Amino acid sequence: MRADAQYRAVRYALVSIATGLLAMPLIVAILVALMPIDEVYSLPARLIPSRLEWSNFTDAMRRLPFLRFMCNSLVVSACAVMGAILTSAMAGYAFARFHWKSKRFCIVLLLGCLLIPAQILLIPHFILYSSLGWVNTYKPLIVPAWLGGGAFNVFLFWQFFRTIPRDFDDAAKLDGASHWIILTRVMIPMAKPVTATVALLSFVYHWQDFQRPLIFLSDFQTYTIALGLRMYQTAGGGWINLVIAASLVAILPVLVVFVITQRHIGPCARVVDQEAPGRPS
């Protein structure tokens, strides 16, 4: 019994140290964001501000159109997340429930898409979007999410849908439900772990995406928050505390989405891990 208590204590200590180390940069950031600027640049450096300068946060938002950037990013990410969930669930449903002539080819295509590095496609994407007149709009950021939303998401839905017994489909079919109804009313609600994981992954992807907005957006009124923070970085040489305050506010939405969805990641990873193809069963 004593050994068990000891084991627990050691485990808790290890885990706390590890997560504490991971939290360190964020703790430093919060302290710097609350410091008056003369204390930030004082030697020997101080860790704890002498007074908490909460006005740093409001100052930071006034320096550049911060709220505009946040709204732009919210619009892009929200639209993209909806598209990614819907279209990747549709493709996942087709892979999990139908057999058609070229299915083998489609599976190869899906795995191929997973393996092709996104970076090498950027130049043709730029040519495509500029010839469509989409540069400086959000279409290059949102439309790809509505076209399958990434091979990995399709793969996640496919693997999860495979674990749902077909009895549910059959029951719904007896009630006269169409495939569309089965997908949206039966399958997606039953696949909550995957839906939540895909929502998190694609929200994070679009919120943090920096390179594609950099290439496709040029008018700063359309900037997403990632580009906005870059403006803070280049402009804010002398007010690093405000730059960091802005950075902290910019990660809040990710934090919110993460808190809502995080409990589903584990179950999703577990199911996909068990169902992964190539694993002889």
Partner 1 sequence: MSKFGSMSRNSVATKFLMPWLVGAFVLTVLPLVATILLSCMEWDGVDPSQARWVGFDHYQHLMDIKHDQDHDSATRVDVNRDPFFYRSLYNSLLFAALATPLSLFVSLLLALMLNAPLRGIAVFRSLAYLPHVLGGVATILIWSWVFNPTFGPINQTIEWAYGVLDPVVRFFGGEGTGSWLLPGWLASETWCMPAVVCMHAWTAGGAVFIFLASLQRVDPDSQAAALIDGANRWRRFRLIVLPQLTPAILFNLITGFAASMQSFNYAYLLYNRAQNDGLLFVVLYIYRCAFEPPYRLGYASAMACVLFVILLVLSSLTFITSKWWVHYES
- Interaction residues for partner 1, span 68-107 (CB under 8 A): 87-88, 90-91, 93-95, 98-101, 106
- Tell me the C-alpha to C-alpha distance, in Å, between residue 58 and each of 34, 38, 173: 11, 18, 56
Residue 176 CB, shortest distance to partner 1, in Å, is 16
Residue 218 touching partner 1 (CB under 8 A):
no
**Which residues inside 175-194 make contact with partner 1, applying CB under 8 A?**
179, 183
Rounded Cα distance, 146 and 87, in Å: 6
**Which residues inside 51-70 make contact with partner 1, applying CB under 8 A?**
none
Q: For residue 147, give every residue at least 6 positions away whose Cβ sits within 8 Å of its Cβ, in sequence order, or none.
A: 83, 87
Under 8 Å between Cβ of 57 and 249:
yes
Residue 148 CB, shortest distance to partner 1, in Å, is 3
Under 8 Å between Cβ of 212 and 119:
no
Question: Quick one: which of 71, 235, 255, 260 contacts partner 1 (CB under 8 A)?
Answer: 255
Residue 11 touching partner 1 (CB under 8 A):
yes
Rounded Cα distance, 81 and 41, in Å: 41
Residue 276 touching partner 1 (CB under 8 A):
yes
Q: For residue 244, give every residue at least 6 positions away whose Cβ sits within 8 Å of its Cβ, in sequence order, or none.
A: 29, 32, 33
Stretch that binds partner 1, among 54-62, 74-82, 168-176, 241-249 (CB under 8 A): 241-249
Residue 53 CB, shortest distance to partner 1, in Å, is 16
Number of residues that bind partner 1 (CB under 8 A): 98
Q: How far is CA 178 from the centre of its chain?
A: 31
Residue 167 CB, shortest distance to partner 1, in Å, is 19
Closer residue to partner 1 (CB): 100 or 175: 100
Question: Quick one: which of 6, 12, 111, 220 contacts partner 1 (CB under 8 A)?
Answer: 12
Under 8 Å between Cβ of 92 and 272:
no
Residue 50 touching partner 1 (CB under 8 A):
no
Residue closest to 60 by CA, chosen among 254, 240, 253: 240
Residue 40 touching partner 1 (CB under 8 A):
yes
Under 8 Å between Cβ of 193 and 166:
no
Residue 43 touching partner 1 (CB under 8 A):
yes
Rounded Cα distance, 275 and 281, in Å: 9
**Which residues inside 116-175 make contact with partner 1, applying CB under 8 A?**
116-128, 130, 144, 146-149, 151, 154
